[in-house]
Amino acid sequence: MTKKIVLNTGGGDAPGLNAVIRAVTLSAIHRGWEVYGILEGYRGILTPEDFPNGGIVPLTIEAVRGITHLGGTILGTTNRGNPLKFPVQDENGEWQTVDRSAEITAAFQEYGFDALVAIGGDGSLTIAHEIGKRSGINVIGVPKTIDNDLEHTIATFGFDSAVSFATECLDRLHTTAASHNRIIVVEVMGRHAGWIGLYSGVAATADVILIPEIPFDIEKVAHKCEKRAPNGAGFSIVVVAEGAKPIGGELSTKGKAVGQAAQLGGVGEKVAKALSAQTGLESRCVVLGHLVRGGTPTARDRLLSLRFGAAAVRALEEGQSNIMVALQPPRVDYVPLEKVANAMKAVPLDGDIIATARDLGICLGD
């Protein structure tokens, strides 16, 4: 039977999305199947007026040519297009959310899609799982996020590229911090989990790493920076994940739009100010922000993305339903989607990377 697959990319973009799109498309076409892409998450169906050439596009060999190394996603993405909680303005101009999942079901039926390949993080895969239950479509999830905070897979694609770039930035900041005897606080992404901050911080020999999993005591951080000066190092590199917070304190946020998670940011500036005040040392803050999300995927991320995309199509051929492809070395395996929904993977505090950081004398703020 001819299979008709539809795929989409949801949530924050991550390096490697295009490699997954290419692998799914080619693997399916080589089996004689048809592949379509929904533009910008589910918006291609929900707001077709935004897409003059149609919100659902055929994916052909030509459409996916030369995209393996490109960052971003050729389909576009959004984190303001959840069909289960779609933002709308009521007659008083107030923003509300409405359930528009029935329109997704209707579009899937109209096109005759057999399966949805949903490429996303925790949020997008939870939505896809629910869409699958309501529409009856078979959902194959592909785990994406630079944050690496998805359970049941050793790695998500995008993480290695984010860590590599953040490490390069920290190396660069190291030389300027040392030249000026400054504290440089570097804020990196990491909403609920501190994987990017921890991995890049250890790789780049940061002096302090603050992650969401370990609420920090600013006095301990200040003490660590002060202690370095008599040993000939009047500078410090302090890595802070955007979701880190002081003991008993709050997350630093920049506001919240309807139907969207709160935008995080600001903790780096607060830490830099507090360190200046407590140590008397000059402190600056650099926010890496979306720089760690953009750009070319590393070779490791390209390979993982291509393996995930091809495995998603093999899963369909083997008759799998409602699973996520997952890296469980040495294999790419399948995990029931219901196990993945709402399952966040934090940095394990008893793991060897935390132990390594402590053994190296890196302050984790506790």
Stretch touching ligand F6P by CB under 6 A, among 15-23, 183-191, 305-313, 344-352: 183-191
72 contacts 20 by C-beta, under 8 angstroms? no
- The count of chain residues that interact with ligand F6P, using the rule CB under 6 A, is 13
The verdict on 146 binding ligand F6P (CB under 6 A) reads yes
CB of 144 to ligand F6P, least distance (A): 9
The verdict on 145 binding ligand F6P (CB under 6 A) reads yes
The verdict on 189 binding ligand F6P (CB under 6 A) reads yes
Orientation angle between helical segments 299-317 and 17-29, nearest 10 degrees: 40
CB of 145 to ligand F6P, least distance (A): 5
The verdict on 267 binding ligand F6P (CB under 6 A) reads no
Q: Could you say which of 16, 41, 141, 190 contacts ligand F6P (CB under 6 A)?
A: 190
The verdict on 147 binding ligand F6P (CB under 6 A) reads yes
The verdict on 263 binding ligand F6P (CB under 6 A) reads yes
Q: Give the 3-state DSSP-derived string for the chain, with helices as H, strands as E and coil as C.
A: CCCEEEEEECCCCCCCHHHHHHHHHHHHHCCCCEEEEECCCCHHHHCHHHCCCCCEEECCCCCCCCCCCCCCCCCCCCCCCCHHHEEEECCCCCEEEECCHHHHHHHHHHHCCCEEEEEECHHHHHHHHHHHHHHCCEEEEEEECCCCCECCCCCCECHHHHHHHHHHHHHHHHHHHHHHCCEEEEEECCCCCCHHHHHHHHHCCCCEEECCCCCECHHHHHHHHHHHHHHCCCCEEEEEECCCCECCCCCCEEECCCCCCCEECCHHHHHHHHHHHHHCCCEEEEECHHHHCCCCCCHHHHHHHHHHHHHHHHHHHCCCCCEEEEEECCEEEEEEHHHHCCCECCCCCCCHHHHHHHHCCCECCC
The verdict on 26 binding ligand F6P (CB under 6 A) reads no
Catalytic residue among 13, 122, 147, 301: 147
The verdict on 286 binding ligand F6P (CB under 6 A) reads no
Q: Could you say which of 6, 8, 12, 21 contacts ligand F6P (CB under 6 A)?
A: 12
Stretch touching ligand F6P by CB under 6 A, among 61-69, 104-112, 184-192, 331-339: 184-192
The verdict on 335 binding ligand F6P (CB under 6 A) reads no
The verdict on 43 binding ligand F6P (CB under 6 A) reads no
| CA–CA dist 133, 338 (Å, integer) | 10
Nearer to ligand F6P, 151 or 333 (CB): 151
The verdict on 77 binding ligand F6P (CB under 6 A) reads no
The verdict on 264 binding ligand F6P (CB under 6 A) reads yes
The verdict on 170 binding ligand F6P (CB under 6 A) reads no
Stretch touching ligand F6P by CB under 6 A, among 54-62, 132-140, 186-194, 328-336: 186-194
Nearer to ligand F6P, 14 or 218 (CB): 14
CB of 289 to ligand F6P, least distance (A): 8
| CA–CA dist 14, 21 (Å, integer) | 12
Q: Could you say which of 293, 302, 307, 345 contacts ligand F6P (CB under 6 A)?
A: 293
User: 147 an active-site residue?
Assistant: yes
| CA–CA dist 112, 5 (Å, integer) | 9
CB of 121 to ligand F6P, least distance (A): 6
CB of 11 to ligand F6P, least distance (A): 6
CA 313 from chain centre, in angstroms, equals 23
251 contacts 265 by C-beta, under 8 angstroms? no
Residue of minimal Cβ distance to ligand F6P: 189
Q: State the residues that interact with ligand F6P by CB under 6 A.
A: 12, 79, 121, 145-147, 189-191, 242, 263-264, 293
| Residue numbers annotated as active site | 147
